[in-house]
């Protein structure tokens, strides 16, 4: 259906050379006309760029403590965004903090997408007992509220980067597997899959040629909407002391330690939260933009 409407769009007389009719090309063109998504992508790229090149971008050492310069106010001549409770430069820590927060936003979602899509496609394509076994297992994990499951797993395994990664990945696998399974089940009974099978295509060929290309859209959209959730829960885990461990610069952990200073330096204490808010808002709006550009309903 989606492809049909793009064909009509492309066929409209524009007086120019006819463009590629490929789906992704049309998506790209729609995105290029969406100022909101472009702005968000620019902001997110800026944060990502600053995080990757933090050693060159950050004005000061984010780990250098200075007990005489504790909790300097925002707007200081030397420390532009003030300092934290140990006198470390907040701006540099916010820039460095983006590394961990963005990592925790993208990596668990990526891992869960790979695992979830694989499980969902296998379950949907195989059907029968295997589907039953996989999907009921997924249902059990789906039966936990997401924050609770993340906190429970991290709480039991202990704080640390790898444990947070494991718990967040486990939280996101069930919903992604469900999306992959439902799309695969729909596709399996389509005439063209039947035709491919009749011409002697192997299971692998059908999965790679037909199933994967159809599952990719909905999975991508759904996964992109999970990135902000992942950023918020990961920072939340650090905020509880279950994520990365001090003295690591991470927005959630910074909120946790600065919380004690909320009465003395309220503006400093809320700064890391603003970064989390901006990042998660941008990734949500990009996800919405992608969804309408790809015309996918999840």
Partner 1 sequence: MLTYFLRRVLYTIPIAIGVSLVCFALIHLAPGDPLSAVMPEGASSETIASLRSFYGFDRPLAIQYLTWLTHVVTGDFGYSIMTRRAVLGEIGPAVFNSLMLGVAAVLIGFTVGLLLGLIAGYAAGSARDRVVTSLAVAGVSVPHYWLGMVLIVIFAVNLGVLPATGMGAGGSTNFAFDWESLKYLVLPAISLSVIPAGIIARTVRGTVAEVLKQDFIQTLYAKGLSPRRICLHVAKNAAPTVLAIIGLQLAQLLGGSILVETVFSWPGTGFLLNTAIFTRDLPVLQGTILVLAMFFVFINLIVDLIQSAFDPRIKRN
Residues that bind partner 1 (CB under 8 A): 136-137, 139-141, 143-149, 151-153, 155-158, 228, 232, 235-236, 239-242, 252, 255, 259, 262-263, 266, 269-270, 272-273, 276-277, 280-281, 284-285, 288
Smallest gap from Cβ 177 to partner 1, in A, equals 15
- H or E element at residue 134: helix 128-142
Which is nearer to partner 1, 206 or 258 (by Cβ)? Answer: 258
Cα-Cα end-to-end distance for the chain: 15
Smallest gap from Cβ 103 to partner 1, in A, equals 17
CA 217, chain centre distance (Å)? 15
Question: For residues 61, 65, 70 and 72, what is the CA-based torsion angle, rounded to 10 degrees?
Answer: -10
Which is nearer to partner 1, 212 or 270 (by Cβ)? Answer: 270
Which is nearer to partner 1, 60 or 294 (by Cβ)? Answer: 294
Q: Who's near 204: CB < 8 A, 6+ residues apart?
A: none
Smallest gap from Cβ 273 to partner 1, in A, equals 3
Smallest gap from Cβ 231 to partner 1, in A, equals 8
Which is nearer to partner 1, 115 or 278 (by Cβ)? Answer: 278
Question: What are the residues facing 262 on neighbouring strands?
Answer: none
Taking every pair of Cα atoms in the chain, the longest distance, rounded to a whole number of angstroms, is 78
Smallest gap from Cβ 30 to partner 1, in A, equals 16
Q: CA–CA separation, 234 vs 283, rounded Å?
A: 15
Which is nearer to partner 1, 242 or 290 (by Cβ)? Answer: 242
Q: Who's near 117: CB < 8 A, 6+ residues apart?
A: 176, 177, 180, 215, 219
């Amino acid at each position: 259906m989606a492809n049909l409407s793009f064909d009509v769009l492309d066929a409209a007389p524009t007086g120019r050379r006819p463009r590629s009719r490929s789906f992704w090309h049309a998506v790209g063109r729609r995105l290029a006309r969406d100022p909101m998504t472009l702005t968000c992508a620019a902001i997110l790229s800026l944060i990502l760029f600053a995080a990757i090149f933090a050693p060159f971008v950050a004005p000061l050492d984010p780990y250098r403590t200075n007990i005489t310069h504790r909790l300097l106010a925002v707007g200081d001549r030397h420390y532009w965004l003030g300092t934290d409770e140990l006198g470390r430069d907040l701006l540099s820590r916010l820039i460095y903090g983006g590394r961990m927060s963005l990592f925790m936003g993208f990596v668990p979602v990526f891992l869960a997408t790979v695992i979830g899509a694989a499980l969902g496609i296998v379950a949907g394509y195989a059907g029968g007992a295997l589907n039953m076994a996989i999907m009921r297992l997924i249902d059990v994990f789906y039966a936990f509220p997401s924050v609770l499951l993340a906190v429970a797993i991290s709480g039991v395994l202990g704080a640390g980067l790898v444990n947070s990664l494991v718990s967040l990945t486990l939280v996101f696998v069930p919903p992604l597997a469900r999306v992959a399974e439902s799309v695969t089940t729909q596709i399996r009974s389509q005439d063209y899959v039947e035709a491919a099978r009749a011409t002697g295509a192997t299971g692998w060929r059908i999965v790679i040629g037909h199933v994967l290309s159809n599952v990719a859209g909905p999975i991508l959209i759904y996964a992109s909407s999970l990135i902000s959730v992942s950023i918020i829960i990961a920072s939340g885990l650090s905020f509880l002391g279950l994520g990365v461990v001090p003295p690591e610069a991470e927005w959630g952990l910074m909120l946790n330690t600065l919380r004690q200073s909320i009465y003395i330096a309220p503006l400093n204490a809320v700064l890391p939260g603003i970064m989390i808010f901006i990042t998660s808002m941008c990734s949500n709006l990009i996800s919405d933009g992608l969804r309408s550009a790809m015309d996918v309903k999840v």
